[in-house]
Amino acid sequence: MSWFERKDLNIVTKSPKEMPEGIWVKVPATGETIHRRELEDNCWVDPVSGYHFPIGSDDYFQLLFDEGKYREMGGHIRPVDPLSFSDRKTYKSRLVESQKKTGLTDAVKVAAGQMRGLEIVLACMDFRFIGGSMGSVVGERIGLAIDHARENGIPLIVISQSGGARMMESVLSLMQMAKTSAKLALLHEAKIPYISVMTNPTTGGVTASFAMLGDFNVAEPGALIGFAGPRIIRQTIGRDLPEGFQTSEYLLEHGFLDFIVSRNKMKKRLSRLLKILLHKYKD
């Protein structure tokens, strides 16, 4: 028995008051709060710390395509459960849940449109859908984007955001690394430009296939980019990892990125790069 007792019943312990949805947003990097409108106007980048909030494929489409106009492709390609996979949940139920929660059909969306007047095809991954994992649909849709770029001679941009290959499709997921790389090989031979943009996080089979194969590999600041995840590496080598290990800045320093670009400058930098490359740069 404790020496104190509650005198009144029905006292409800208040949980810390939740932020009213959609007005003030807390910045994880600093703990400060910022008005949602200010964030939206700045592409979800905190103007003080430069922290990049995660955003989805639709947001990137709005950000990069002129007037937010684009034609989606590959929406007819939908996931199935080829192995009848089940762990604590079935893969089927995970798919349905993710589809309901995100309104997406799988972890990548592909669209064609114009970026500062230049026709491009853009594939953008979405971490919210089963950790942005790459299964057959992701591989096939990215394959479609690559084919479209090659057949029409227009530049390809892929924005990655993924925990790696999707375990629930086992070896079929693994083969998507081979598929996307094989198709990129053809694009490479056709001399069509390909920019790979890595965002937080880009790891595993996605990094070890199309994300590292850009003519230009670029990243948002502070993103986690690597092959093995930091937890596994720490377990394997049995010591702590250096500060900033596997961040965009670390990869730039070790020679794996061409440059780091803030999200609010991305459209400008990428279109400038492509226009110089394609001899279309004026002013």
Q: Is 179 in the site for other proteins (CB under 8 A)?
A: yes
In whole angstroms, give the CA distance from residue 234 to residue 252: 22
Strand partners, 157: 122, 195
Residues 236-255 that bind other proteins (CB under 8 A): 236-237, 241-242, 245-246, 254-255
Q: Is 210 in the site for other proteins (CB under 8 A)?
A: yes
Among 170, 249, 258, 269, binds other proteins (CB under 8 A): 170
Among 19, 23, 48, 182, binds other proteins (CB under 8 A): 182
Strand partners, 197: 159, 218
Half-sphere exposure of 185 (CA within 13 A, CB side): 7
Using the minimum distance from each CB to other proteins, give the nearer residue, 22 or 238.
238
Among 166, 263, 267, 275, binds other proteins (CB under 8 A): 166
In whole angstroms, give the CA distance from residue 168 to residue 94: 10
**Of the candidates 241, 237, 261, the residue with the CA atom closest to the CA atom of residue 249:** 261
Contact 139, 176 (CB under 8 A): yes
In whole angstroms, give the CA distance from residue 135 to residue 118: 30
Q: Is 178 in the site for other proteins (CB under 8 A)?
A: yes
Q: Is 7 in the site for other proteins (CB under 8 A)?
A: no
> Which residues contact other proteins by CB under 8 A?
76-80, 82-83, 85-88, 135-137, 139-140, 143, 165-167, 169-179, 181-186, 188-189, 204-205, 207-213, 226-228, 232-233, 236-237, 241-242, 245-246, 254-256
